[in-house]
Amino acid sequence: MVLRHDRAEVVRDGKEGLPMTSTAPEIDSAHGILRLANAFCDAQALLTAAELDLFTVLHEGPATEEDIRGRLGLHGRGLRDFLQLLVALGLLEERNGRYGNAPGAERHLVGGRPGHLGGFLLGAKANLYPVWDGLAETLRVGLPRSAADGFAAMLEDLGELRRYVRMMEGVLQPLIPRIAEAIDWSRYGSVLDVGGCRGGLAGQLALAHHGLAGHVFDLPQIEPLFDEHMAELGTTGKVSFHAGDFFRDPLPRADVLILGHILHNWPLKQREHLVRAAFEAVAPGGVLLVHDRMLDDERANIDNLQASLIMALVTEEGSEYTIGELAELAGTAGFASVSHQPLDENETLVMCHKAGA
C-alpha cells in the first residue's frame, strides 16, 4: 500500500497499520471494572520490587521468604503477600517455599544485564506514577503536572540527571538491536543520534559496525555522563559528543541521523523545525530515522495512547503523532521518500530518505 503526502512517498512495507498486542481488559462485569480500577496495585508491586532490587537478589538463586527479608532489610509484615502477588503476576516462581525469578524477570529485571529495564521502572516510580494523579486537572486546564522549570532544574542536579538519563535508556535498550538491523549500515560512514544522552545507541552501533563514526548531539550538561559511558563501553574516541541546543544550533552533518523519542516532546511548529534541521544535516543519499510510539487513527493502541497522555502530563505541548503526520513533515522538508516498519509491538521506525547529489 502506498500513500502520498506532498513530495514524500510512504511505503507501508506490506503491513496494514501497527502491530497490536495491548488489548482492552474485560469490563462487562463489576468484577472486571473493579479489576481495572485496581490495576495501579499491580504496577506498584512491580515498581516496588524494582526499587528493592528484588530481581537482582534472586538472580543469585531461589530464596525463602526469610532469606529475602534479611537480604533486603525488610520488616516482614506483608512480605509473603507481596511475593505471592508477584508470583500471581508471573514475575516470580515459587517452589517448595523458595522464590525465584520467572523467565521474563530474569531477562529484563536483573541489574547489569543486557535488556535491563530497571532504569525506566525506577524513573516511572519516581516521576511518572505521581503525575497520573493529576490527569483530571490537566484535562481541565491543559497544563502539565510537571513544573515548567523542572527540566532546567534537573539538568543542574547530577543525581536527578543520572536518574532521568537511565530512565530514557531503559526505554531505548530493548530497541537497540532492532535499530541495528533496520538498515544496511555498511552503506554509511557516520551516524548522529540527536538527543542521544550517554551515547548508548551510537556506541552500540559503532561497536557493531567497524568504520562507522558515531556522533551524539545533546545538551552540554550531558557530556560528563557521555564520557563515563563511552569509557564503560570501550568506545572512547569512536563516538564524539557535540554540545548544543537543537532549537538554536545547527546539527552536525552525518549520513544517518536519528531522532528517537524526540519529536513527541514538542508541538507541530517545533517538529517542523527539527525535521527541517535534520534534512539539512543529512548528507545526500542519507537517511533520517525517527522512532516513537506513534498513533494509528484506525486502530486504538492502549499503550501508545497512554504514552501520548504522559506527554500531556509532563510536557507543555507534546504528544504522540501518526506516521502520516510525520510523512507530511518529511515531504515538506524535502525528503524524497518515507518508509516505516515496527520496532516492537508499540514502537514504529520511520525512515526518511534524502535524494543523492
Residues carrying an active site annotation: 264
Nearest to 5 by CA among 338, 355, 276: 338
CA distance 339 to 176: 19
The radius of gyration computed from the CA coordinates of the chain, to the nearest angstrom, equals: 22
Nearest to 220 by CA among 241, 238, 237: 241
Grid cell locating 154: 534537573
Grid cell locating 292: 516513537
Tell me which amino acid residue 256 is: V
For residue 16, count CB atoms less than 10 angstroms from its CB and return exposed for 0-12, middle for 13-18, buried for 19 or more.
Answer: exposed
**Cβ–Cβ under 8 Å, residues 225 and 162:** yes
For residue 169, give Cα distances in angstroms to 56, 59, 164, 201, 256: 18, 22, 9, 9, 20
How many C-beta neighbours within 10 Å does residue 144 have?
Answer: 21
> Between β-strands 98-101 and 239-243, what pairing exists: parallel, antiparallel or unpaired?
unpaired
**Cβ–Cβ under 8 Å, residues 214 and 239:** yes
CA distance 321 to 324: 8
CA distance 295 to 285: 28
**Cβ–Cβ under 8 Å, residues 278 and 194:** yes
